[in-house]
Amino acid sequence: MEIMLSALAQFQLSQLIMIVVGIVLIWLAISKKYEPALLLPIGFGTILTNIPMSAAIGEHGPLTVLFKAGIDTELFPLLIFIAIGAMIDFTPLLKNPFMLLFGAAAQFGIFVTIVVAAAWGFDIKEAASIGIIGAADGPTSIYVANRFAPNLLGPISVAAYSYMALVPIIQPPVIKALTTSKERKIRMDYHSGDVSQTVKILFPIAITIVAGIFVPASLALIGFLMFGNLLRECKVLDSLSKSAQNELGNIVTILLGITIASKMQGEYFLRPQTLFILVLGLVAFIFDTAGGVLFAKLLNLLRKDKVNPMIGACGISAFPMSARVIHQMGQKEDPFNFLLMPAVSVNVGGQISSVIAGGIILSLLA
Mean pLDDT for the chain overall: 88
Domain residue spans in the chain? 89-252+271-365
Instruction: Say what the pLDDT of residue 173 is.
Output: 93
Cβ atoms of 292 and 105 within 8 Å: the answer is yes
Q: Say if residue 205's pLDDT is above 90.
A: yes
- Give the pLDDT of residue 194: 79
Question: Counting every residue, how long is the chain?
Answer: 366
Look at residue 4 and tell me whether its pLDDT is greater than 60: no
pLDDT bracket for residue 5 (50, 70, 90): low
pLDDT of residue 8: 67
For residue 351, is pLDDT > 70? Answer: yes
Flag whether pLDDT at 234 surpasses 90: yes
Decide: 263 and 78 in contact? Cβ < 8 Å. no
Q: Residues 302-315: pLDDT tens digits?
A: 888 888 999 999 88
pLDDT in tens, 72-89: 888 999 999 999 999 998
Q: Highest mean pLDDT range out of 25-34, 148-157, 227-236? A: 227-236
First to last CA, the chain: 51
- Average pLDDT of the segment spanning 245-255: 93
Q: How confident is the model at residue 54 (pLDDT cuts 50, 70, 90)?
A: confident
Residue range 334-361: average pLDDT?
87
So what's the pLDDT on residue 99? 83
Residue 86 pLDDT: 94
Q: Residue range 25-48: average pLDDT?
A: 90
The residues near 63 (Cβ < 8 Å, ≥ 6 apart) are 45, 48, 49, 56, 57, 258, 259, 261, 262
> Looking at residues 108-122, what average pLDDT do you find?
91
What is the rounded average pLDDT of the residues 49-68?
89
Confidence of residue 192 (pLDDT cuts 50, 70, 90): low
For the entire predicted model, the pTM comes to 0.87
Report, as an integer, the average pLDDT of 22-26. Answer: 93
Q: Which of 23, 293, 317, 40 is nearest to 167 (CA)?
A: 317
What's the confidence (pLDDT) of residue 169?
Answer: 86
What are the φ/ψ torsions at residue 292 (nearest 5 degrees)?
Answer: -65, -40
Q: How many angstroms separate the CA atoms of 356 and 363, rounded?
A: 10
pLDDT class of 191 with cuts at 50, 70, 90:
low
pLDDT classification of 49: cutoffs 50, 70, 90: very high
Task: Answer whether 351's CB lies under 8 Å from 137's CB.
Answer: yes
Lowest mean pLDDT among 5-19, 45-59, 225-239: 5-19
Query: Which of these ranges, 8-12, 127-131, 166-170, 273-277, has the smallest mean pLDDT?
Result: 8-12
pLDDT of 3 higher than 80: no
Mean pLDDT, rounded, for 50-68:
88
Worst-scoring range by mean pLDDT, 100-109, 116-125, 144-153, 322-331?
100-109
